[in-house]
Structure 1
Amino acid sequence: MTGTDDQDTLARRFEEHRGQLRAVAYRMLGSLAEAEDAVQEAWLKLTRADAAAIDNLGGWLTTVTGRVCLDLLRTRGTRREQPMDETFVPDPVVRPLTPLDPEEEVVRADSVGIALLVVLETLRPDERLAFVLHDLFAVPFDDIAPVLERSAASTRQLASRARRRVRGATPPADTDLGRQQRVLEAFLAASRAGDFEALVAVLHPDVVLRVDAGALARGAAVSKVVRGARTVAAQALTFSRFAGTARLVLVNGAIGLANAPADGPASVMGVTVADGRITHLYILADGDRLKQLGPAVGEAERPRPSGAPAAGQ
């Protein structure tokens, strides 16, 4: 077998694991672009390693990807124009709201919600790594410990501390898409009609709205956190003129909204629904980051012609 054949075989083996590696990196970083960079770096590290000596390629790649993400998290503060604050919204994964085939249902079931990603942003890098690799991907502590340069017992404690923080901060959510859709349809109808009381009725009394308009705007009036049903409803009515171009989509596996007028994507909104009301809204309105999401935002919100295949078909 030639060197080229060996490289092709290694590339095929790597591709078998790319999906999981991307999932690990996305949960670690909350950024789709950075996740792709991390996966690419894992591939480069594999090409420089003795692949024949790796017994468990999937496990090796997962821990290597985790280490790359850990390094990115540790240096993130020096690379960003401003530090993270409570207005930050992670990159959403947007898909059209179409009937899902069984394979897509599995993907949706494995989706990570925006709410969890927001909580993960509050963890220290080492806590986040221990929690993501162990609790979300079942990597043994003995394999995580060398990445953190800690003992397995110390790594277990990190994951336990992170787990308590995640459980305490992640809001309860209704996972039924049908119930989510009814709530979002009521929200959208009330927004389009300018019906303040109808908006209040669909919002939890203690609802929290988080708007991320980008690093340059963070801290300004356009990036904000708003609390309370009547205050959030008033905020929604302020932007009701945009409701006409908003459409239901899947945002990280749950029902959300994408607003993509003819001149380009304007926002993506993920929500948490519980007991028939919206408890949290997460709006990404950063134009630069929305463009990096690719055509999915615009395509997802526009009705497809009759008979057109769904994305990925």
Structure 2
Amino acid sequence: MDAAVSFEPLRPRLIRVAYRMLGSVADAEDMVQEAFLRWMGADRASVREPEAFLRRVVTRLCLDRLKSAAHRHETYVGPWLPEPIVETEEEQADDISLPLMLALERLSPLERAAFLLHDVFGVDFDEVADTIGRDPAACRQLASRARSHIRESRPRFPVARERGLEIASAFFAASRTGDLQGLRAMLADDVVMQSDGGGKRAAARWPFVGIDEILRVHKGLARLFAKGMSKVLHYGLINGLPGFVTLEADGELQTTALQIDGDRITAIYIVRNPDKLSRLGREMLH
């Protein structure tokens, strides 16, 4: 069979694996394209399970990339957040939300690979072992450690999709009009806000923690918002969380994703780095 004919149906699934490993669509696409080049040069007739073979290649390429990514994150300006993905309901099946992706960042590359392959993508431990070069028992331990690290990232009382979008809409209205009482009613006492500008757009270089601190920040932001209108382009799930995409007064895109536990917002994730929004801009502005 032609290399492209056998590869293309698998490309979306391979990109999902790579994106969950790397947090960047561009990097994920690069890894999958490299896997395609290797597929073209492989003895394809001897490969019994092309998807398993290619998943193994992509995972190994991602593990190599993570070694250099660790250095990039260390030198990144301000908080690092994954590239935002605006998802449909059908794309939520793997249950990897933005907080879980941040939790994955704190794992070792092998823990991340073992957890994603087994717990998220349903790969058995024999194949995981073959992929990452460890025996199955070690892979079980890696996945178990990963599970214990990320368990705390899951909300105790997950919010339904529609309710989450209602809260996102109310949050946008209150934050942009300076309705501090409305915001206070929505925020958890220990709420955290992170904004990722990558040193390329104005953004806080550290997280804001606690309801009083975040209300203080929004009081100041309300004065800025009053000078120029921002427009909501889309309400929806962003990396599994309710949120919205806006066109800001400076003509640039921004995404805001809200982690909600029960009816209270426990975390606010804002991406402003234009490098991480260029793909989204092509989809929404053209």
TM-score (norm 1): 0.81
Aligned equivalents of 1:82, 1:293: Cα separation in 2: 25
Mean CA deviation greater in 256-265 or 58-67 = 256-265
SS at match of 1:145: helix
1:232 lines up with 2:214 in the alignment? yes
Aligned equivalents of 1:214, 1:205: Cα separation in 2: 27
Aligned equivalents of 1:249, 1:223: Cα separation in 2: 26
Q: 1:113 aligns with which of 79, 89, 97?
A: 97
Deviations 1:160-200 (A, max 9, x none): 10111011334446341211122112212212321111111
Aligned equivalents of 2:236, 2:270: Cα separation in 1: 14
| Cα offset, 1:55, TM superposition | 0.7
Query: CA, structure 1 residues 145+60, in 2 after alignment: closer, same or farther (shift >3 Å)?
Result: same
Mean CA deviation greater in 207-216 or 196-205 = 207-216
Q: 2:272 matched to which residue of 1?
A: 285
| Cα offset, 1:211, TM superposition | 1.2
| Cα offset, 1:221, TM superposition | 6.7
1:176 lines up with 2:155 in the alignment? no
Q: 1:164 aligns with which of 125, 145, 148?
A: 148
Mean CA deviation greater in 65-74 or 173-182 = 173-182
Query: CA, structure 1 residues 264+40, in 2 after alignment: closer, same or farther (shift >3 Å)?
Result: farther
Q: 1:68 matched to which residue of 2?
A: 61
Q: 2:129 matched to which residue of 1?
A: 145
Aligned equivalents of 2:184, 2:47: Cα separation in 1: 57
One-letter amino acid of the structure 1 residue matched with residue 216 of structure 2: A
Q: 1:273 matched to which residue of 2?
A: 260
Q: Is this contact kept in 1: 2:253–2:281, CA < 8 A?
A: no
Aligned equivalents of 1:173, 1:42: Cα separation in 2: 40
Q: 1:136 aligns with which of 101, 120, 132?
A: 120
| Cα offset, 1:88, TM superposition | 1.3
Deviations 1:181-225 (A, max 9, x none): 2211221221232111111111111111111110578xx972220
SS at match of 1:204: strand
Q: Is this contact kept in 1: 2:20–2:116, CA < 8 A?
A: yes
Query: CA, structure 1 residues 85+130, in 2 after alignment: closer, same or farther (shift >3 Å)?
Result: farther
1:92 lines up with 2:79 in the alignment? no
Aligned equivalents of 1:35, 1:58: Cα separation in 2: 16
SS at match of 2:207: strand
Aligned equivalents of 1:12, 1:105: Cα separation in 2: 28
SS at match of 1:206: strand
| Cα offset, 1:256, TM superposition | 0.6
Query: CA, structure 1 residues 193+252, in 2 after alignment: closer, same or farther (shift >3 Å)?
Result: same
Query: CA, structure 1 residues 191+88, in 2 after alignment: closer, same or farther (shift >3 Å)?
Result: same
One-letter amino acid of the structure 2 residue matched with residue 133 of structure 1: L
1:14 lines up with 2:7 in the alignment? yes
Query: CA, structure 1 residues 175+49, in 2 after alignment: closer, same or farther (shift >3 Å)?
Result: farther
TM-score (norm 2): 0.89
Deviations 1:232-270 (A, max 9, x none): 122223223448424234312432122213753242111
Q: Is this contact kept in 2: 1:242–1:259, CA < 8 A?
A: no
Aligned equivalents of 2:183, 2:249: Cα separation in 1: 26
One-letter amino acid of the structure 1 residue matched with residue 27 of structure 2: E
Q: 2:21 aligns with which of 14, 24, 28?
A: 28
Aligned equivalents of 2:157, 2:268: Cα separation in 1: 12
